[in-house]
């Protein structure tokens, strides 16, 4: 399975990067206008990558890993790693903004885009919210629109290296436009729903919407 994991990824990496470069070239001008200052208010840049968790680091074996996507969808799935890696590869570069005030620029992510997963499961018209459930019991919630954005992915590689256990490997969510607590590590389930279900931090005083540019830190 480790063999399958790295083999499938290698085959797709170049094509995915090329696609990303094309997109970047088209978006560069627009991006610079909107984010002249790329550091959101109250943040400071770090060069390392801090680890934040609930005090446990699950080890999730790619061979037994499954990704369930269900709830308000026409075609619920439970994907094996091989099936997940068979989906078109997605490559993106984005900045991390953590509510504890660190930001980390230029993270290169590789994985499968949220839009690709939506094409697979077909969320119904009732699906207005999304809940992520992880192997450590963590949950976090976003709106359908926040998840189905063109920079959102389920990532398995960072800077061309497999995501380590400490950062949520083998697969974690990446939602660049929101504070990083919305990006669930060790994700195992994605549930589309007609109603919003506040997650672990959202029920403990964190803001439901989590926009770093308007400092939606706490509620």
Ligand X SMILES: Nc1nc2c(c(=O)[nH]1)N[C@H]1C(S)=C(S)[C@@H](COP(=O)(O)O)O[C@H]1N2
Residue nearest to ligand X (CB): 134
* 184 sits near ligand X (criterion: CB under 6 A): yes
* 53 sits near ligand X (criterion: CB under 6 A): yes
Do residues 60 and 166 lie in contact, with contact meaning Cβ atoms separated by under 8 Å? no
Tell the smallest beta-carbon distance from residue 217 to Mo ion (Å).
10
Distances from the Cα of 72 to the Cαs of 121, 127, 208, in angstroms? 9, 5, 21
Please identify which residue in 72, 92, 136, 202 interacts with ligand X, judged by CB under 6 A.
136
Tell the smallest beta-carbon distance from residue 98 to Mo ion (Å).
5
- With CA atoms as reference, report the closest residue to 97 among 199, 183, 207: 183
**Could you please report the per-residue DSSP string of 130-153?**
EEEEETTS-EEEEEHHHHSSTT-E
* 27 sits near ligand X (criterion: CB under 6 A): no
Residue nearest to Mo ion (CB): 181
Do residues 172 and 163 lie in contact, with contact meaning Cβ atoms separated by under 8 Å? yes
> CA 182, CA 194: separation in Å to the nearest integer?
19
Please identify which residue in 97, 144, 157, 185 interacts with ligand X, judged by CB under 6 A.
185
Q: Which one, 12 or 154, has the nearer CB to ligand X?
A: 154
- Residues binding Mo ion (CB under 5 A): 52, 98-99, 181
């Amino acid at each position: 399975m480790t063999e399958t994991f790295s083999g499938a990824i290698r085959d797709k990496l170049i094509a995915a990067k090329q696609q990303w470069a094309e997109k970047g070239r088209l978006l560069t001008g627009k991006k610079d206008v909107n984010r002249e200052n790329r550091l959101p208010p109250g943040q400071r840049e770090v060069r390392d990558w801090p680890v934040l968790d609930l005090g446990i680091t699950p080890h999730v074996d790619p061979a037994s890993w499954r990704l369930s996507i269900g709830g308000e969808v026409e075609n619920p799935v439970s994907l094996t790693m091989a099936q997940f890696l068979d989906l078109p590869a997605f490559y993106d570069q984005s900045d991390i903004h953590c509510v504890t005030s660190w930001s980390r620029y230029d993270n290169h992510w590789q994985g499968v885009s949220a839009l690709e997963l939506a094409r697979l499961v077909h969320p119904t018209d009732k699906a207005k919210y999304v809940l992520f459930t992880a192997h450590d019991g963590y949950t976090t919630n976003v709106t359908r629109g926040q998840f189905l954005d063109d920079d959102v992915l389920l990532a398995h590689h960072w800077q061309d290296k497999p995501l380590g256990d400490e950062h949520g490997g083998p697969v974690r969510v990446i939602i660049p436009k929101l504070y990083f607590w919305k990006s669930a590590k060790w994700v195992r389930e994605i549930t589309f729903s007609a109603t919003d279900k506040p997650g672990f931090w959202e029920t403990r005083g964190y803001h439901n919407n989590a926009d770093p540019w308007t400092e939606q830190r706490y509620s």
